[in-house]
Amino acid sequence: MIVADIGNSDIVIAYFDNEKLSFQFRINSYKKISEIELSVKIKDNFLLNNFKSESQQVSAICSVVPELEKKMQTVFVQLFKKEAILIKPGMHSAVKVKIEKQEELGSDLYANAVYAFLKYHKPCVIVDFGTALSFTAVSANGNVEGVAIAPGLKTAVKALFANTAQLPEIKLELPETAIGKDTITAIRSGILIGYEGLVKNLIYRMKEELGAETVVLATGGLSLVLHSLKNEFNEINRDLTLQGIRMIAEAYR
């Protein structure tokens, strides 16, 4: 099965051989990319991974970027001669969405919830370190109860650079001390150590609301940056969303 996770920063495309993730690659989420260019990039990566698209029958798309979703659907039909399964909140019978506006829940966050609940069968909080920093709460009976959203780490840094003069660009590296001795360590402290507190507090509050047995998972490209938080999580899995997409598509199929 081929799955595509279309986010605000990257498109991640992965191939699963049954449940095993065989390979994955990333394409920049450039909204104006043409279908031809998107197809060429995908074919090139398939070639690099010795994958023959004509042998593939099932594909699934999870997207928070409508413009790219439509283009990816067209490209997948061209490659696999069949429409892809479009992941939507509520598609998996084991995980319901108990919020007022179900359509506002990102399909990627729903995929996270499905993976977490099907694996642990307990109340869950999934922290996704992406363009946005999101916390998805799942109850003991598999209901998505709601989400908390904050700017992602890179988003916060970009906002600071965009609105403040004379600040240097920095790498996201956790500083040794909270008291910054220069501009770079001051920014690292304010954002990264500050985000430590944000993450810990939201996890604490959500666990209070969901119950003592709550399992906490982390995913997203920046899930390992705040390594001091690793003891807060039962599982850190950068491929969690991809696995959730696969689980939903297999159940739907």
| Active-site residue, selected from the candidate residues 10, 44, 108, 182 | 108
With tokens 């049954």, the residue in question is: 18
- CA nearest neighbour of 223 among 242, 240, 206, 205: 240
Which residues on neighbouring strands pair with residue 96, listed in sequence order? 143
- 108 catalytic per annotation: yes
> Do the beta carbons of residue 156 and residue 222 sit within 8 Å?
no
Provide the residue type at 167 as one letter.
L
Measured between alpha carbons, how far is residue 103 from residues 31, 110, 155, 251 in Å? 21, 11, 24, 20
**From CA 87, how far away is CA 103, in angstroms rounded?**
12
How many Cα neighbours within 13 Å face the side chain of 227? 5
Q: Which residues belong to the active site?
A: 108
